[in-house]
Amino acid sequence: MTKTQGSLERSAGTRNDGAGFPLVFELSRKGRRAWSLPEAKVDAPGLDELVPERFRRSEPPALPEISERDLVRHYTRLSQRNWAIDVGAYPLGSCSMKYNPKIAEEVAAMPGFAALHPLAPDDAVQGALELLGTLQEALCEATGMDAITMQPAAGAQGELTGLLIMRAFHEAKGDARRRVIIPDSAHGTNPASVSLAGYEAVEVRSDERGLVDVEALLDVLDENVAGLMLTNPNTLGLFERDIVRIATAVHEVGGLLYYDGANFNSIVGVVRPGDMGFDIVHLNLHKTFATPHGGGGPGSGPLAVSERLARFLPAPVLVYDKGAERWGWDHDRPDSIGRIHSFHGNFGINVRAYAYLRSLGPEGLRRVAERAVLNANYLRALIADAWPTKYPGICMHEFVASAKPLKQHGVRAMDVAKRLIDFGYHPPTVYFPLVVEEALMVEPTETESKETIDGLADALNQIAREAKEHPELLHDAPVTTPVRRPDEARAARRLTVRWTPD
Amino acid sequence: MDFAPHTHDDDRAMLDTVGLDALSDLFEAIDPSLQLTRPLDVPPALDEVELLDHMARLAGRSLGPAELVCFAGGGSYDHHLPPVVKALAGRAEFATSYTPYQPELSQGVLQAIYEFQTLVCELYGMEVANASLYDGANALVEAVTLSMRTTKRSRVLVGASVHPHYVQVLRTYTSGLDLDVDIVPFGSDGVVDWSKVDATDAAAVACAYPNFFGRLEDLGTASSVAHDAGALSIAVTDPSAMGVLASPGALGADVAVGEGQGLGNPKSYGGPYVGLFATHLDHVRQVPGRIVGETVDADDRRAYVLTLQAREQHIRRAKATSNVCTNQTLMAIFASVYLGWLGPQGLQRLGEVCIRRTAFAAERLSEIPGCEIAFKGPHFKEIVLRIPGDARELERSLAERGFLAGPSLGRWWPELGDCLLVAVTERRTEEAIVGLAQALEKELAG
């Protein structure tokens, strides 16, 4: 085995009785406490008088009763049982797990951002609105769009917002359309959002190049098509070369083009969705703009549109009064699809994205795309013999390898993923996209160094050899982690989704 | 400053390996006529010193906690943020990790979510909770669509005392679906009289408890009305109240949702927050988003995994229970550490302090000539103060006097244009409450 790049704490806190790592509830001892809060200290009646019996709780919830020190050790040890960008490489395809700059955390915590109340009068939050306004303008410029909303909290919420705008656009013309076209390589959120927006998702297949089959697309394009959702580059890491032809065809039947920004990291500063013909764009700021993904969220999924769709954006819309030199929210938006978030979206994440943007500037942004694409192609070249990819040529920020040739040795993509863990790397995305059998979708991102990618390539090449010579090494993997191969079927069959006191 | 580690030599060596001459060759698949021939027109790069200064200046252009005492509520609350919460939940091992697809490398986040699910179930009196949704509004939407799938009905009754933004978001989200959103008005006491409501043909009844005005609304009756009609009962509930108030589960709710911001997360101008979602096990296959389950590993050790994934978009695609993918896991971990810090007694204390100080504030503020509490009856941590004149104007002028009190209610209910929603958390002392009253007196005296 090559030198391990990183590993998790295996023993910390593991109990000797075999029960495994304790739950916070199992640390609880009646009467122990961490909390420190004031008494009411006001001249007011007691709870018995203020709260009628029928609303009173008889037993408080069974929250853990532990000391602050125990709380600290519990969560510190839990954190040590978790992979993270700050621990090691994380080449999950389509997730853009790049380094998250520390300065962004520091600035987002400034009281002038973190302590602002979302319903404060506009005059009291001018700095926040100025930040949002500048960020909005920069994101419109980067995408080639004209107007934007920062309300969507994540990509999927951006998708729904965009699809509802698509619906509003057609309905405003008295044009009830029913279908939205999606390539078979698309993320699952695309068809799910289409259904939620009340449209029917129609799948169009990829051709032998791994790109949208334009002839197949033309076959399904008609006056009933509201639009096409496209990730470009797509989830195979390939740029849709026919994008202009596709855009023209969709526009000719009166449809709109939706750009899923999941893979925007590979083209930022190089080419803009608006210039390709897209009408609606969502970005994932937790990908391209380096905000931390938090173990599954938060994200931020701003949604940008071209001029003709601006009036449909969710209300309220941020406006700048030049005369008064004042930012404010415009609620009077009669054509708006309505609100999509409780307040203004994931503002704290948008502050981080702004700090990242200001750190990089225009040249830095282009450098992101260049190094992201360089890293992917470099890794692909280093492993080309052992891991041939289906589609030749230069890829973009990611590529999809296949473990299919290893099937004859009884090895599956998941075995490869688990073995890679033992070499000190987080595995790539597996079994996606669905159009590649035994898919391993690899995205190094621009913040990994040549040395890290060299090490990852060595590991992948060695695993390919092991698969043939010692497949049991892959079947037994991982052997370096706190747990190995948890039984997922059992989890679903014997469903236990919360701790219960004995 | 960018964060790519490539030296010039790295670039050269890597390009050689790939077989390209220049970085621009990497984009050969993109038609040159589409490619930008200029840098993006975005603000220039700042070095770290400049950036910190710039951000501090921007932050300084808003009125922060040093300038304004926060009596604002309406779905975002100024609760105490114990330092231990950020110190733990903010750890980079949590913050810079991805969705836990590989359980061997994700036991930390998976177990933290499992604990979060348990905590939310305990608060709400439920059997299953998910790994979080975007915010309170989004959680209500998901509860309503769950009820539509479960009952095969297409009408929902929503109390007018539910957060008006949540109702707006519900309308937006479901505008493409066949759903009638019927609003049930509240009475002169600020609560819906659910005993007079006919829920025939409804998929669900949605009741806020405590409601947007801080009033304790009769969730028990709302649940009975729903169940008599074969509908589900949805509770929109502030989790901070769960130390002293009966749980939604105990009052018959089938789905309990709420905003978890108050559980250890900063107000942060509206996000990132965390939508809480919990229900009974018979609905588990209709639950949106991620759920963590307990299992054992190959060596029979306890372990945690994402479970019932066949509900989700990456498997079920167009037929998924929801389109949610990225959620608010980190904010859920913040909430978990916070609840661990509070414990049952801390949560009780929190509730008691909120209720008693709010009662004190109600008493003190209604002593001001011309002012009264608009909706009388039991409250949790908010009250509606009716003032003589335009509450929106008053909201602004109070801000000039150092108090953030509001929102004013005319923006949602024109007939309540003379009303301010005032929130009192455990952070507002008697002195601060008296200070607000005196500022109000001065302002009204002109």
Write down the architecture of domain B69-81+344-445 according to CATH. Alpha-Beta Complex (3.90)
Per-residue pLDDT at A3 exceeds 70: no
**Which tens digits make up the pLDDT trace of A355-382?**
999 999 999 999 999 999 999 999 999 9
Distance from CA of A455 to the nearest CA of B (A): 14
Q: Which of B244, B269, B328 sits opposite A125 (nearest CB)?
A: B269
Tokens standing for B120?
């939310």
Per-residue pLDDT at B446 exceeds 90: no
Contact (Cβ atoms closer than 8 angstroms) between residue B391 and residue A77 = no
pLDDT > 70: what percent of chain B? 100
Within a domain: residue A339? yes
How many CB atoms are located within 10 Å of the residue A492 CB?
16
Chain B positions in Cβ-Cβ contact with residue A396 (cut-off 8 Å): 29
Element of type H or E holding B354: helix B329-366
Is the CB of B271 less than 8 angstroms away from the CB of A345? Answer: yes
Chain A positions in Cβ-Cβ contact with residue B99 (cut-off 8 Å): 95, 293, 295-297
Sorted by sequence, the CB contacts under 8 Å of residue B152 that are 6+ apart come out as: none
Per-residue pLDDT at A1 exceeds 60: no
Is the CB of A363 less than 8 angstroms away from the CB of B297? Answer: no
Tokens standing for A67?
């000391």
Mean pLDDT value of segment A333-358: 98
Q: Would you state the pLDDT for residue B2?
A: 84
What number of C-beta contacts closer than 8 Å exist between A and B? Answer: 718
Write down the architecture of domain B83-337 according to CATH. 3-Layer(aba) Sandwich (3.40)
Going from the C-alpha of A405 to that of each of A411, A474, B183, B201, the distances in angstroms are 9, 15, 59, 56
Per-residue pLDDT at B146 exceeds 80: yes
**Which tens digits make up the pLDDT trace of A382-433?**
999 999 898 989 999 999 999 999 999 999 999 999 999 999 999 999 999 9
Q: Which of B4, B29, B430 sits opposite A394 (nearest CB)?
A: B29
Element of type H or E holding A456: helix A450-469
Is the CB of A128 less than 8 angstroms away from the CB of B269? Answer: yes
Sorted by sequence, the CB contacts under 8 Å of residue A127 that are 6+ apart come out as: A112, A113, B57, B58, B59, B60, B61, B62
Q: Would you state the pLDDT for residue A424?
A: 96
Q: Would you state the pLDDT for residue B406?
A: 87
User: Measuring CA to CA, which residue among A236, A244, A248, A174 is closest to residue A209?
Assistant: A236
Distance from CA of A408 to the nearest CA of B (A): 24
Chain A positions in Cβ-Cβ contact with residue B68 (cut-off 8 Å): 120, 124
Q: Would you state the pLDDT for residue A367?
A: 97
SS3 (DSSP) at B41: coil
Chain A positions in Cβ-Cβ contact with residue B3 (cut-off 8 Å): 98-99, 101, 290, 446-447
Distance from CA of B132 to the nearest CA of A (A): 9
Chain A positions in Cβ-Cβ contact with residue B303 (cut-off 8 Å): 20, 483, 486-487
Q: Which of B34, B131, B270 sits opposite A118 (nearest CB)?
A: B270
Within a domain: residue A112? yes
Q: Would you state the pLDDT for residue A8?
A: 76
pLDDT > 90: what percent of chain A? 94
Q: Would you state the pLDDT for residue A6?
A: 66
Contact (Cβ atoms closer than 8 angstroms) between residue B191 and residue B161 = yes
User: Measuring CA to CA, which residue among A460, A415, A414, A484 is closest to residue A8?
Assistant: A484
Is the CB of A499 less than 8 angstroms away from the CB of B114? Answer: yes
Mean pLDDT value of segment A123-131: 97
pTM, full prediction: 0.97
Give residue A346's identity as a one-letter amino acid code.
Answer: N
Sorted by sequence, the CB contacts under 8 Å of residue B186 that are 6+ apart come out as: B159, B160, B161, B192, B211, B213
Tokens standing for B132?
């979080």
Chain B positions in Cβ-Cβ contact with residue A198 (cut-off 8 Å): 175-178
Q: Which of B19, B51, B247 sits opposite A103 (nearest CB)?
A: B51
**CA gap A181, A249 in Å, rounded:** 13
Q: How wide is the angle at C-alpha A153 spanned by C-alphas A148 and A159, nearest 5°?
A: 65
Residue A316, preceding bond cis, omega within 30 degrees?
yes
Mean pLDDT of chain A: 95
Mean pLDDT value of segment A231-243: 96
Beta bridge partner(s), residue B405: B71
**CA gap B102, B105 in Å, rounded:** 6
Per-residue pLDDT at A2 exceeds 60: no
Contact (Cβ atoms closer than 8 angstroms) between residue A156 and residue A205 = no
Mean pLDDT value of segment A159-180: 97
Is the CB of B112 less than 8 angstroms away from the CB of A75? Answer: yes
Name the DSSP letter for residue B270: G
Of A448, A483, A490, which to mutate for an interface test with B (greatest number of B Cβ within 10 Å)?
A: A483
**CA gap A128, B59 in Å, rounded:** 7
Q: Is the dihedral of CA A389, A390, A391, A392 positive or negative?
A: positive
Buried b (16+ CB within 10 A) or exposed e, B42-52: bbebbeeeebb
Give the residue from chain A lying closest to B55, CA to CA: A107
Q: What crossing angle do the helices spanning A155-172 and A189-196 adopt, rounded to 10°?
A: 40
**CA gap B280, A302 in Å, rounded:** 34
Q: Is the dihedral of CA A230, A231, A237, A242 positive or negative?
A: positive
Give the residue from chain B lying closest to A67, CA to CA: B341
Question: Could you identify the residue written with the tokens 């095969």?
Answer: B152
**CA gap B259, B239 in Å, rounded:** 7
* DSSP per-residue codes, A254-312: T-EEEEEETTGGGTTTTB-HHHHT-SEEEE-TTTTT----TTT------EEE-GGGGGG
Confidence of residue A10 (pLDDT cuts 50, 70, 90): low
Name the DSSP letter for residue B295: E
How do strand B372-373 and strand B382-386 relate by DSSP bridges?
antiparallel
Chain B positions in Cβ-Cβ contact with residue A118 (cut-off 8 Å): 75-76, 267, 269-271
Distance from CA of B265 to the nearest CA of A (A): 9
CATH number at residue A320: 3.40.640.10
Distance from CA of B221 to the nearest CA of A (A): 11
Does the complex come out with an ipTM higher than 0.90? yes
**CA gap B142, B138 in Å, rounded:** 6
**Which tens digits make up the pLDDT trace of B335-377?**
999 999 999 999 999 999 999 999 999 999 999 999 999 999 9
Is the CB of A68 less than 8 angstroms away from the CB of B291? Answer: no
Q: Which of B101, B134, B292 sits opposite A157 (nearest CB)?
A: B134
Is the CB of B430 less than 8 angstroms away from the CB of A483? Answer: no
Distance from CA of B287 to the nearest CA of A (A): 12
Within a domain: residue A128? yes
Confidence of residue A9 (pLDDT cuts 50, 70, 90): low
Is the CB of B45 less than 8 angstroms away from the CB of A481? Answer: no
Give the residue from chain B lying closest to A116, CA to CA: B269
Is the CB of A79 less than 8 angstroms away from the CB of B88? Answer: yes
Is the CB of B396 less than 8 angstroms away from the CB of A366? Answer: no
Of B323, B357, B431, which to mutate for an interface test with A (greatest number of A Cβ within 10 Å)?
A: B323
* DSSP per-residue codes, A161-222: HHHHHHHHHHHHTT----EEEEETTS-THHHHHHHHTTPEEEEE-B-TTSSB-HHHHHHH-S
Is the CB of A361 less than 8 angstroms away from the CB of B314? Answer: no
Confidence of residue B248 (pLDDT cuts 50, 70, 90): very high
Per-residue pLDDT at B319 exceeds 70: yes
Per-residue pLDDT at A204 exceeds 90: yes
Within a domain: residue A183? yes
Confidence of residue A19 (pLDDT cuts 50, 70, 90): low
| Domain extent listing, chain B | 69-81+344-445, 83-337
Mean pLDDT value of segment B68-78: 98
**Which tens digits make up the pLDDT trace of A60-112?**
999 999 999 999 999 999 999 999 999 999 999 999 999 999 999 999 999 99
Give the residue from chain A lying closest to B21, CA to CA: A374
Per-residue pLDDT at A189 exceeds 80: yes
Q: What crossing angle do the helices spanning A413-422 and A450-469 adopt, rounded to 10°?
A: 120
Q: Would you state the pLDDT for residue A16?
A: 36
Chain A positions in Cβ-Cβ contact with residue B323 (cut-off 8 Å): 156, 159-160, 189, 192-193, 195-196
Distance from CA of A439 to the nearest CA of B (A): 14
User: Measuring CA to CA, which residue among B141, B197, B324 is closest to residue A296?
Assistant: B324
Sorted by sequence, the CB contacts under 8 Å of residue A238 that are 6+ apart come out as: A209, A210, A211, A391, A395, A396, B29
SS3 (DSSP) at A20: coil
**CA gap A491, B92 in Å, rounded:** 28
Is the CB of A360 less than 8 angstroms away from the CB of B105? Answer: no
Q: Is the dihedral of CA B240, B246, B249, B253 positive or negative?
A: negative
Q: Would you state the pLDDT for residue A4?
A: 47
Is the CB of A84 less than 8 angstroms away from the CB of B97? Answer: yes
Contact (Cβ atoms closer than 8 angstroms) between residue A225 and residue A232 = no
Confidence of residue A34 (pLDDT cuts 50, 70, 90): very high
Name the DSSP letter for residue A502: -
- Provide the domain count of chain A: 1
How many CB atoms are located within 10 Å of the residue A156 CB?
28
C-alpha B383: how far from chain center = 20
Is the CB of B18 less than 8 angstroms away from the CB of A394? Answer: yes
Mean pLDDT of chain B: 97
Element of type H or E holding A243: helix A243-252
Of A1-5, A152-156, B162-166, B421-425, give the lowest mean pLDDT range. Answer: A1-5
Phi/psi of residue B324, each to 5°? -65, 140
How many CB atoms are located within 10 Å of the residue B299 CB?
11
Mean pLDDT value of segment B161-173: 98
Q: Which domain holds residue A349?
A: 104-359
Long-range Cβ contacts of B37-40 (<8 Å, 24+ apart) = B39/A269, B39/A362, B39/A363, B39/A366, B40/A138, B40/A141, B40/A142, B40/A268, B40/A269, B40/A362, B40/A365, B40/A366
